[in-house]
Amino acid sequence: MNKVLLVIGDGAEVVDTLVPYYRLSEDFEVVRAAPEKALYHLVQHEHEADWDITVESPGYKIESDIAFRDIVPDEYIGIVLPGGRAPEFLRYDKHLLRIVKDCFAKKKPVASICHGIEILAVADCIRGVEVTTIPRCRFDAEVAGAIYLEQPLVVSGNLFCCRYKRECAPWMKAFVAALHDYQEFRK
Q: Any idea which residues carry the catalytic annotation?
A: 115
**What are the residues whose beta carbons fall under 8 Å from the beta carbon of 159, sequence distance 6 or more?**
104, 110, 112, 120, 125, 126, 129, 131
CB 40 within 8 A of CB 12: yes
For the purposes of burial, counting CB atoms within 10 Å of the CB of 46, is it exposed (0-12), middle (13-18) or buried (19 or more)? exposed
DSSP-derived secondary structure letter, 38: S
Quick one: which of 117, 182, 132, 140 has its CA closest to 162? 132
Q: 62: which strand partners?
A: 40
**What are the residues whose beta carbons fall under 8 Å from the beta carbon of 106, sequence distance 6 or more?**
73
In angstroms and rounded to an integer, the radius of gyration of the C-alpha atoms of the chain is 15
At residue 167, the 3 state secondary structure works out as helix
